[in-house]
Structure 1
Amino acid sequence: MKITFPEGPVEYDTEELALTFVAVADSVPVDCAITAEALEDRFGARSLREPDLRQAFHRNRDAIEAAAARLIEETDGKPVMLHSGYLRMYGAGRR
């Protein structure tokens, strides 16, 4: 499966408390998200405030996209939500 992450907006989802972004898997868009908790716990966001979450996301974008790509492969192209537990299991981020 060929997975890419086109330049595009990263949105803050206030209902899910997550940042959302899009991947493309074999030419099909795949919705991706990472929880605020994961950004704080695994990628050093200073708080759950949107600016702090965005800063942690952009500072660690390569690692986040790599984790999302791995999960997209595992779920055969389904939308993904990255949580702290998944990232911890695969060693993504700190701690």
Structure 2
Amino acid sequence: MQIIFLNETPEYSGQELTLAFPVMVDGERVECMITAETLEDHYGAASTRLEDMVGAFSTHREHIEAATRRLLSETRAQCLVLRSGYVRFYEANLRN
């Protein structure tokens, strides 16, 4: 599975409280999302405001992409939402 992260600004959804970011998976564009809760719990977002969420995403983009890559690889998903519980599991397994 070839996974390429596109260097585009994530799109904010105030209704869903997520940021969507594009990924190319085996040549197809896939929109992945990360929740505000995940950005607050794990990546230091101070609030669900656009500026706070995008700032946390940008600062921790490498870690977010690594967790996304693993989840895409594990589930062979075509679309995914990166949630706090998965990131907690992913980070715990990095330490072991």
Relative to the length of structure 1, the TM-score reads: 0.90
- 2:46 maps to amino acid: R
Give the percent of matched residue pairs that are identical in Structure 1 and Structure 2: 46
Report Cα offsets for 1:36-87 as digits up to 9, x if no partner: 0100001011112110111000000000011111111122142010010000
Q: Which sections of structure 1, spanning at least 5 residues, go unmatched? A: none
Secondary structure of 1:24's aligned partner: strand
Partner of 1:84: 84
Partner of 2:39: 39
Query: Is contact 1:42–1:87 with CA below 8 Å preserved after alignment?
Result: yes
Instruction: Report runs of 4+ in structure 1 exceeding 6 Å deviation.
Output: none
- 2:18 maps to amino acid: A
RMSD over equivalenced CA pairs, Å = 1.2
Relative to the length of structure 2, the TM-score reads: 0.89
Pick the structure with more helix per residue.
2
- 1:39 maps to amino acid: L
Query: Is contact 1:68–1:82 with CA below 8 Å preserved after alignment?
Result: yes
- 1:86 maps to amino acid: Y
Q: Which sections of structure 2, spanning at least 5 residues, go unmatched? A: none
Partner of 1:60: 60
